[in-house]
Structure 1
Amino acid sequence: MPDDPAPDTDADPDIDLYEFVDRLCRFETTDGEEAEAAAWTREQFDAFGFDTYEWEADAETLAGHTSFPNDPADIRVENRPSVAGVVEFGDADAGPTLVLNGHLDVVPADADLWTGDPFEPTWSDGRATLTARGAADMKAGLGACVFAALDLRDRVEAGEAAVDGRVVVEAVAGEEDGGIGAAAAALDDPYPFDRDAALVAEPTDLTAVTTTEGTVMKRLTIRGRSAHAATRWRGEDVLPHFERVRAAFQELETERGERVHHDLYEEFEVPWPIVCGRVEAGSWSSTVPGTLTAEWRFGVAPGETVDEVEAEYEQRLAAVVADSEWLSAHPPAFERFSIQFEPAGIAPTEPVVRALADAMADDGLADTDPHGATYGADSRHYVAAGIPTVVFGPGTVEEAHFPDESVEWADVLRAREVIAATARRFLAGDYDRGTESGPDADAETDS
C-alpha cells in the first residue's frame, strides 16, 4: 500500500482536521481504554474555546437498562469518560440544541491480517485515503463533527449566518459495548440545558439513516456424551444436534424476511440477519464432542421488541428439542449474554432529518431519501429519551471492523460541510416538527 506523506502547509484549509483525525486514530481505544483519547479530545475542545463537559456511566443505572447485563459487575464503566464540547450561538436559550455525536472506542484489530500497524495511520496518494483502525468506524466522522461546529462558529462570527442555540459535540465511550457513554447521557442529562435533536456520524456512505435495526445476543449450550473415538457409538455427538438447530434458525430467518416488512429495508437481501459468530465444541480430537457452546446474533426489525424476537427463536429451538429424544431428556440452555440493541427510528418529517436532507441536496448529494441500517447505533439511546436522532457520516459500514479499515478523505471533507450546513439550518428553526419519534416510527411491520 502506498504511504505518501500528507501535505503539511498552513495554506491547506483542511490541515487541522487532518491532524485531528490522524492523532485520534493513533490512540488504541480498544477494550475499555478510552481515557487517554478522551483526555486529549477534551484538551482540543478547550483549545477550540468550547465549553467542556465530562461524565462517566454508573453501572447500577445501566444494569436496569435493557441493553446491558443485569449484573453491574458485568458492565465495565471505570475510567471510561465521555467528553463533550459546546458552542453557543446568539441567544442560546432561545434556540434549539443539536448534538453531534461520535464514539471514541474501536473494536480490536488482528494485526496479522493488516498490511501495517492498525494504530499507525497510513495516508495513500497524498491524502486521498486514510487506513487505520477506527478510520471509518468512526473517528473520521467524529472529526467531521468537531470541525463542522467550528465552521459554523466561524460563519456566525464573520456575519455570514445568524442563528440562536447550541451545538454539542460528543465523544463518547463504549459504543461497541452497547453505548455506555451515550446511554449514560440519555438517561441522565450531563448538561444544564435540554437537547432537541442529534446526529450520530456513523459511516453511512453519506446517506441519511433514520432507522436502525436491533439485535438480541443469545448463547446456546448443548450437552451430549463424550466417548473414545474408537467407540464413538457409545457417545452422543453434539454436532448433529447443533446443525439441526442451526438449520431451524436459518429457516426462521427466511420466514421472518418474508413476513416482517419495513419500507426502508426492502433493499436488503436479508433484512433481519442472524449469525452464529462463535462455536466451541469438544475437548479432544479423538473424543466424541460432548459439549457445545454457540453464540448468536439475531436481527430485530423496527417495530418489534428484543423480547418478541427472542421468543420466536426460543420457540423454534423448543420445536427442535421436542423432535429429539436426546435433547428432550437433556434440554439445551439458551440464554442472553453480552449486550442487546433495541431498534430505533424517527419520522422523515423530523426537523433534523429535513435539515440534513436540504443540506445534502445543497451539497450535490443525489440520494437524500431516508434509509434503514441493519446495524444498531447509539442513536437508539437518544431516540428512547425523546431526542430525534439521525445517523449520517463518511465511509461505509463495509469497512467497519475489517482489516485495513479505510475511509476516503474526500467523503470526510464533504461530511464536514454537510453537517455544518445541517446545524445551521436546524438552529435557524425553519422546520416544524412532524410525526413524533419512537422505536417504530415510520415502520410498517407485519408479524
Structure 2
Amino acid sequence: MTDFETEQGDELRAFTERLCSFDTTGGNEGPAQEWLADRLSEMGFETYEWTADAERLAEHPSFPDDPVAIEHTEASADGPTLVERPSVAGVLEFGDPDDGQTLVLNGHMDVVPVARESWDTDPFEPTWEGDDLTARGAVDMKSGLASCVFAAKHLHENAEGRNLDGRLVVESVVGEEEGGLGAAAAALSNPYPFERDAAIVAEPTDLTPVVAVEGTVMKRLRITGRSAHAATRWRGESVHPHFEAIRRAFFELEAERSESVTHPLYDEFPIPWPIVVGTVEAGTWSSSVPATLTAEMRLGVAPGETVDEVEAMYEERLAEVVEESEWLRDHPPTFERFSIQFESAETDPDEPIVGALQSAMDGEGLDTTLRGETYGADSRHYVAAGIPTALFGPGTIEQAHFPNETVHWPDVVTAGTVLTETARTFLD
C-alpha cells in the first residue's frame, strides 16, 4: 500500500475545509450533502440517497410516538422537513463484490448550534494554526467523515493485484445529534441492494477503538406546590424542598448503580452511568411562593441494560420519595419521557471488524485497548440491525460541541491510514 498522506493528504485537507465551511446546524445539511454527492460521483463512487420517514421512525423506540415531533425536532423546529434532509452514500466495489464482505464507513454531516460570542473565529470559516484546524464540525465529525471518504478512495486506487473482494460504503447521514435520523432510517430499511456485514462510525475517539456506547433516557419531571404571597410564605407550599428530595434520591441511586452495575470497559469512569439535571424552571414571580417546577434530565443506561429497565428504576425511586411526603402523595408529580431516547450498544470484541481495526492500529503504533464511552452514537442503530459496529476516529470528545472546536491534523491523516488498512484487512 502506498503512503496515504503522500497520495491523499492535500486533497483530504481541502475536502475537509470545504465540509467545515457548510453551516449544517438546524437541519440544514442539504447543500452540503448535495456537494458531497457530486464529489463522490466525481471520485468514482456509485451514489445512493435516502430520507427518513417520520411515520416509520415513530414506531422506533428511540423516537417520539408523534411523527410531527420527529419531523420538526428541537434542533430543526423552523428548519427543513425530513424530505429536504437527505442522507447520502458512495459505494466502491472490489473484485467480485458479491463474493466478499461489505464494510460501511459512517459519519454524520450535522453539527450542533454555535454560540458565536464564545468563538475567537468564525466557526464556519475553517482556520489553521500550524497543524490544528478550528471550525464547527472539525472534530464532530467532518474530519472523521472526510477520512472515511479518502480511506475508501485510497484503497480503491491501490487495489490492483491485492485480490480484494467486496464493497466499501461511505455514508454521510443527517440528524445524528437529533437521535440518528439518517442512520435509524438506514438500519430500519436498507437503502442498498446488498447486505452490510460490518461498520465503523468515525466519531472522535482520540484514535482509540470503542466497542461499547452508553444509552440515555430523557425524562421531564413536573412538581406542583401551592402559591402564596411572600409576606405569608407559610400559607404556600414551595416546590423546592420536594424537588431537592427527589434530586437527592436520584443521585443516591446513581451512586448505587455505579457500584452495582459493572462493565469492564467502564472501570475508568468515576461515574459510569451519570445522570444530569440539565434544566430546572420554577415559579412565576420573585415575590410568590413557587407553585410549579419543571426539570429535564438525562439518565445513563449501561451496555446490556435497556432504556425501559433504567427508567423503571428511577420511577421506583421517585415513588418512594412520594410515599414519604403527604403533599406529594396528594399532589403526585409527573415523570414522563421527552425528546429522543438512546439505547446502549455493544459489539463483541471477537468480531472480525474489531480485529481488523486493532491490527491496523497496531501497524501505526496506536494503543489497541478496547474502550467504552459514556455517550451515545449512531452505532446503536446498526448494532440493533445485526451489523457489528466499532467507533474509531480523529479528535477528542472533549473538543466536540466546544467553542473553538479544533482537530490536530496529523490525527486525521492517521485515521485515514488506519481506516484504509482496516478495510483492506476486512475485505481480504
* TM-score normalised by structure 2 residue count: 0.95
Distance across 1 between alignment mates of 2:236 and 2:122: 47
Task: In structure 2, give the amino acid aligned to 1:274.
Answer: I
Residue matched to 2:411: 411
Aligned-pair CA distance for 1:13: 4.7
Q: Is the partner of 2:254 in helix, strand or coil?
A: helix
Q: Is the partner of 1:166 in helix, strand or coil?
A: strand
Distance across 1 between alignment mates of 2:84 and 2:240: 42
Q: Is the partner of 2:398 in helix, strand or coil?
A: coil
Distance across 1 between alignment mates of 2:187 and 2:392: 19
Q: Is the partner of 1:156 in helix, strand or coil?
A: coil
Task: In structure 2, give the amino acid aligned to 1:79.
Answer: E
Q: Is the partner of 1:258 in helix, strand or coil?
A: helix
Distance across 2 between alignment mates of 1:32 and 1:236: 43
Matches within 5 A, 1:89-100: 89-100=94-105
Distance across 2 between alignment mates of 1:280 and 1:291: 8
Distance across 1 between alignment mates of 2:112 and 2:407: 16
Over residues 304-359 of structure 1, what are the superposed CA-to-partner deviations in whole Å (9 max), with x where a residue is unaligned?
Answer: 11000000000111111111111111111100000011011111110000000000
The range that moved more, 32-41 or 186-195, is 32-41
Residue matched to 2:22: 27
Aligned-pair CA distance for 1:231: 2.1
Aligned-pair CA distance for 1:362: 0.6
Q: Does residue 57 in structure 1 map to residue 52 in structure 2?
A: yes
Residue matched to 1:104: 109
Residue matched to 1:43: 38
Residue matched to 1:445: none
Task: In structure 1, give the amino acid aligned to 2:146.
Answer: G
Q: Is the partner of 1:227 in helix, strand or coil?
A: coil
Q: Does residue 67 in structure 1 map to residue 72 in structure 2?
A: no
Distance across 1 between alignment mates of 2:112 and 2:64: 19
Aligned-pair CA distance for 1:224: 1.0
Aligned-pair CA distance for 1:228: 2.1
| Equivalent pairs, count | 413
- Cα contact 2:8–2:150 (8 A) shared by 1: no
Residue matched to 1:436: none
Matches within 5 A, 1:98-247: 98-125=103-130, 128-157=131-160, 159=161, 161-247=162-248
- Cα contact 2:8–2:154 (8 A) shared by 1: no
Q: Does residue 387 in structure 1 map to residue 392 in structure 2?
A: no
Aligned-pair CA distance for 1:12: 8.4
Distance across 2 between alignment mates of 1:213 and 1:119: 30
Aligned-pair CA distance for 1:50: 0.4
Residue matched to 2:3: none
Distance across 2 between alignment mates of 1:193 and 1:48: 21
Distance across 2 between alignment mates of 1:265 and 1:380: 17
Q: Is the partner of 1:78 in helix, strand or coil?
A: helix
Over residues 98-154 of structure 1, what are the superposed CA-to-partner deviations in whole Å (9 max), with x where a residue is unaligned?
Answer: 0000000111111111112222221112xx111111111111100000000011011
RMSD: 1.1
Q: Is the partner of 2:397 in helix, strand or coil?
A: coil
Matches within 5 A, 1:303-314: 303-314=304-315
Distance across 1 between alignment mates of 2:280 and 2:117: 22
Which sections of structure 2, spanning at least 5 residues, go unmatched? 1-5, 72-81
Q: Does residue 300 in structure 1 map to residue 301 in structure 2?
A: yes
Structure 2 counterpart of 1:17, from 12, 17, 21? 12
Residue matched to 1:372: 372
Identity %: 65
Aligned-pair CA distance for 1:230: 2.1
Which sections of structure 1, spanning at least 5 residues, go unmatched? 1-10, 429-447
Over residues 399-423 of structure 1, what are the superposed CA-to-partner deviations in whole Å (9 max), with x where a residue is unaligned?
Answer: 1111111111111110000000000
Over residues 376-433 of structure 1, what are the superposed CA-to-partner deviations in whole Å (9 max), with x where a residue is unaligned?
Answer: 10001111101100000011111111111111111111000000000000000xxxxx
Distance across 1 between alignment mates of 2:148 and 2:127: 22
Residue matched to 1:290: 291
Residue matched to 1:327: 328
The range that moved more, 400-409 or 416-425, is 400-409
Distance across 1 between alignment mates of 2:134 and 2:222: 39
Distance across 2 between alignment mates of 1:74 and 1:273: 27
Distance across 2 between alignment mates of 1:16 and 1:284: 58
Aligned-pair CA distance for 1:251: 0.4
Q: Is the partner of 1:194 in helix, strand or coil?
A: coil
Task: In structure 2, give the amino acid aligned to 1:381.
Answer: H
Task: In structure 2, give the amino acid aligned to 1:402.
Answer: F
CA gap of 1:354–1:42, structure 2 versus 1, over 3 A, is: same
* TM-score normalised by structure 1 residue count: 0.91
